[in-house]
Structure 1
Amino acid sequence: MADFARSDSGAVQTQLDRLAKLSPGGDRLGLERIVQLLDRLGRPQDRLPPVLHIAGTNGKGSTCAFLRAMLEAAGFNVHMFTSPHLVRFNERIRIAGKLVTDEQLAELLTEVLDCSQDIEPSFFEVATAAALLAFSRTPADACILEVGLGGRLDATNVVDRPLVCGIAGLGIDHRQWLGNRLSDIAGEKAAIAKRGVPLVTQRYSPPAAHQVQRKAEEAGAPWIGRGALWESRLIRGEIHYRDSHGALTLPMPSLPGRHQADNASLAVAMLRHQDVLTVAPEAMAKGIRSATWPARLQKLAAGPLTAMLPKGSELWIDGGHNASAARQVADHLRRTARDNLPLVLIFASLTTKDPRAMLKPFAGLASEIHTVPIADYDCRPPTALAELAAELGFRASGNETVEQALGRVGQPARVLIFGSLYLAGEVFRANGEIPD
């Protein structure tokens, strides 16, 4: 799947155009190109502040957001690299708490691309190199790196000695790269483990847990697994966390969904199992309450798209793109809907995803499904998705645009746009909401 970006800055767009011509596009795993590129740039990965490295199928981005919020609440300056961006490339790189500016980004991309001519790096490899270069030149107290795809061969896996590593929720995704079994996927993601560096994880099925344990042992990394060395439970609307350091009672996150309590707890566990950055429980609680992460069960503000819906409607978006994310979203909506608003799903899917598995959790919940394409990406035809939805028992229609799909909502409803972070970015732009 070819990745790309557009920018309103002419200087940035010039470099993005260079990247599009230079890179063959698509996902390309392997460390040879990124290592060669970083060597030419003076190995910026060796000059970073303490690194917190996070992998996972679902929840790793939210875990990064919780880590950043907690660390900043404790008074630290934090770099952060995440992917993908929703509207602007700048969203991927946060330097000491602030999004990279267009001027900074143009200069970083120019420098990286000038060193890349015979390497043919991927889009993600160039983004990673630009982020590491920026982080190496600006003082900060911590650096959060989100794995892009997998872990073992991901471009972020070039830091020899991070402070702590974490793995969020696991699910079946990217089968062509990571394997068809959850245990295979677990092994790929656990390969970010480094000798002597704590590997903090969620609780997994026995086959997946066995692979995580095996990878940790091979690397010489202490495995800090949920259920063994730390635990977290929801009791009467609070997170009750415990580990060998003691027990904490923490608030529920402002991010909707019970699964966000799991992500916040993983962030707490990562911070509690390192000894460089001191984060008091009060800062953890403040970070959990203040953390934001766009396109995760987010209610859209007033704008051109929300204005298209009948009065009394709500427009929500979630960038989930696999079966486990769909189950989490559907579970949240079942538990929290206290009114009679019907749920209408506006849905899209890349060709690499399993739309049947993503739609099944909404059976008996969504009153109708309107399918749409994802502009500029290799996606499943809306008509084919609508036929699949009809086979599953939904009232469904295929549409050429999100606007056309919204126009089919004839009565007040809770409308959820779901199926892809790329679709989420398209929707944010159309509604005039630019994540910052």
Structure 2
Amino acid sequence: MQYSEAIDYLYSRLPVFHRIGAKALKPGLGNTLRLCEALGNPQHQFRSIHVAGTNGKGSSSHMLAAVYQSAGYRVGLYTSPHLQSFTERIRISGVPIAEERVAQFVVDNQALIEAIEPSFFEVTVAMAFAYFARQQVDLAIIEVGLGGRLDSTNVITPAVSLITNIGYDHTDILGDTLAKIATEKAGIIKPGVPVVISETQPETEPVFCQIANSVGADITFADQQWQLTDTGLLNGKRQVTVGETGANLPFSETTLSLDLLGSYQLRNLAGVLSTVNRVAATWPVTTAQLAEGLANVTRLTGLKGRFQTLQERPRVIVDTAHNEPGLAALFASVGSLAYQYLHVVVGFVADKDRLPALRQLPREARYYFCQAESPRALPVAVLQQEAAELGLIGTAFSDVNSALNASLGEAQSDDLIVVTGSNYTIAELTNL
């Protein structure tokens, strides 16, 4: 079986969330546990850091991986969804899993897959864990797919758990209040395992404290531990000073350069710093190694789609923001940039509450609406109409590349073009 055949097999046989949404979910951890047991329980054969949250968990996972790679560790990284290649989901020290290994895993475990009938995500988690165990990584950064409590990744016992923030997303699955969503995310908190919360939020702080205390997990709110100051861009990287907050912290009085340019990354950075500090006895990192990793995340880990610049004059920025808090953070960062006119290329999925997200889009921009090829994509005519009702005026295009080309044709050299709205929209860009 070739790689393309293996991927076609997985897509055709197994329910895939990014194609059919919540219907792809398999309740509980039973399937993942059965897969792992048949594979020799690889989830117990490597040490890990578990990362959950509404927004920022992907960026935080990549930042952690980059820091530990810079410190000389052999680092596994599991993230989802992928943008352009399935192999992006499973990396060791920045190198995606080989296509041949993916194909061989499917061949070796085809009978197991057909006996258990897991979801696509459950199989990819088992594949990643088996790969990390066989390759004997020093540690693995494991990003939660959705939620936490019932997410397939939640069969590990990490050295530390990191929860970035809580916002309204997947409310049909996780709950319709921040407290309910936080309860699901907090499901990754394990007895006796420290947990770091990147952002203190009044609606969710009591939830995290109660759950952490009930299982004896030491809890740290990272934004209360670090004083981070954004001092702007220098040589194409965001400069952040790390100040004292009264505690004797190892990275205080340090200036860090971030190649992830969105100003919202400071929220993620706090969680990363607290996480690194919390497990310093297990995986020591010097200030120089920390700085090296954070300055080179995209090069070290291959992260794309986070306030990523595709070209200059006109500047084109792509960002996978796809919900209300994510889009609010994105356009707050956009507001810090100098440009003449703003052009926004945007496409959404259909199975989410779009009105709060649409309200984060600036009215003064020129819009280019588009539709991804995913079955979950919102029809572009519907998006155009809903946007118009909010005063967001623009033209409809059949795909993101046509929309981007049109914006490039209309923009002047000192304008700014932002492409956003969905992972699936960004994934279809030909020059990503």
Letter aligned with residue 411 of structure 1? A
SS at structure 2 position matched to 1:131: helix
Which whole-Å deviations, capped at 9, do the CAs of 1:92-122 have from their partners, x for residues lacking one? Answer: 0012442111111211233343312121111
Deviates more, 1:143-152 or 1:392-401: 392-401
Deviates more, 1:204-213 or 1:177-186: 204-213
SS at structure 2 position matched to 1:65: helix
Q: Distance in 1 between matches of 2:123 and 2:226?
A: 38
> Is 1:214 paired with 2:210?
yes
Q: Distance in 2 between matches of 1:257 and 1:279?
A: 24
Q: 1:295 aligns with which of 282, 305, 328?
A: 305
Q: Which residue does 1:3 correspond to in 2? A: none
Q: Which residue does 1:418 correspond to in 2? A: 420
Which whole-Å deviations, capped at 9, do the CAs of 1:324-358 have from their partners, x for residues lacking one? Answer: 1111111111112x231x11111111112233322
Are the aligned partners of 1:112 and 1:126 in contact in 2 as well (CA < 8 Å)? no
Q: Which residue does 2:144 correspond to in 1? A: 147
Deviates more, 1:103-112 or 1:273-282: 103-112
Letter aligned with residue 347 of structure 2? A
Equivalences for residues 310-389 of structure 1 within 5 A? 312-336=313-337, 338-340=338-340, 342-366=341-365, 368-389=366-387
Are the aligned partners of 1:252 and 1:261 in contact in 2 as well (CA < 8 Å)? no
Which whole-Å deviations, capped at 9, do the CAs of 1:375-413 have from their partners, x for residues lacking one? Answer: 033121111111111111122222212243235432324
Q: Which residue does 1:95 correspond to in 2? A: 92
Give the direction of change, closer, same or farther, for the CA distance of 1:365–1:334 in structure 2 (3 Å limit): farther
Letter aligned with residue 348 of structure 1? G
CA-based RMSD: 1.9
Q: CA deviation at 1:248?
A: 4.2
Q: Distance in 1 between matches of 2:27 and 2:343?
A: 37
Runs of at least 4 residues of structure 1 off by over 6 A? Answer: none
Q: CA deviation at 1:154?
A: 0.5
Are the aligned partners of 1:387 and 1:396 in contact in 2 as well (CA < 8 Å)? no
Q: Distance in 2 between matches of 1:279 and 1:407?
A: 44
Give the direction of change, closer, same or farther, for the CA distance of 1:298–1:97 in structure 2 (3 Å limit): closer
Q: CA deviation at 1:169?
A: 2.2
Q: Which residue does 1:188 correspond to in 2? A: 184
Give the direction of change, closer, same or farther, for the CA distance of 1:349–1:235 in structure 2 (3 Å limit): closer
Give the direction of change, closer, same or farther, for the CA distance of 1:17–1:283 in structure 2 (3 Å limit): same
> Is 1:68 paired with 2:74?
no
Are the aligned partners of 1:321 and 1:358 in contact in 2 as well (CA < 8 Å)? yes
Q: Which residue does 1:13 correspond to in 2? A: 4
SS at structure 2 position matched to 1:191: helix
Are the aligned partners of 1:248 and 1:281 in contact in 2 as well (CA < 8 Å)? no
Q: Distance in 1 between matches of 2:200 and 2:107?
A: 42
Are the aligned partners of 2:196 and 2:271 in contact in 1 as well (CA < 8 Å)? yes
Which whole-Å deviations, capped at 9, do the CAs of 1:71-99 have from their partners, x for residues lacking one? Answer: 11111110110111000000000124421
> Is 1:266 paired with 2:271?
yes
The size of the alignment, in residue pairs, is 406
Give the direction of change, closer, same or farther, for the CA distance of 1:22–1:218 in structure 2 (3 Å limit): farther
Q: Distance in 2 between matches of 1:22 and 1:394?
A: 40
Deviates more, 1:205-214 or 1:143-152: 205-214
Q: CA deviation at 1:58?
A: 0.5
Q: Distance in 2 between matches of 1:91 and 1:285?
A: 24
SS at structure 2 position matched to 1:116: helix
Q: Which residue does 1:78 correspond to in 2? A: 75
Give the direction of change, closer, same or farther, for the CA distance of 1:102–1:164 in structure 2 (3 Å limit): same
Q: Which residue does 2:172 correspond to in 1? A: 176
SS at structure 2 position matched to 1:238: strand
Q: CA deviation at 1:249?
A: 1.8
Are the aligned partners of 1:96 and 1:140 in contact in 2 as well (CA < 8 Å)? no
Q: CA deviation at 1:314?
A: 2.6
SS at structure 2 position matched to 1:117: helix
TM-score, length of structure 2 as denominator length: 0.89
Q: Distance in 2 between matches of 1:111 and 1:120?
A: 15
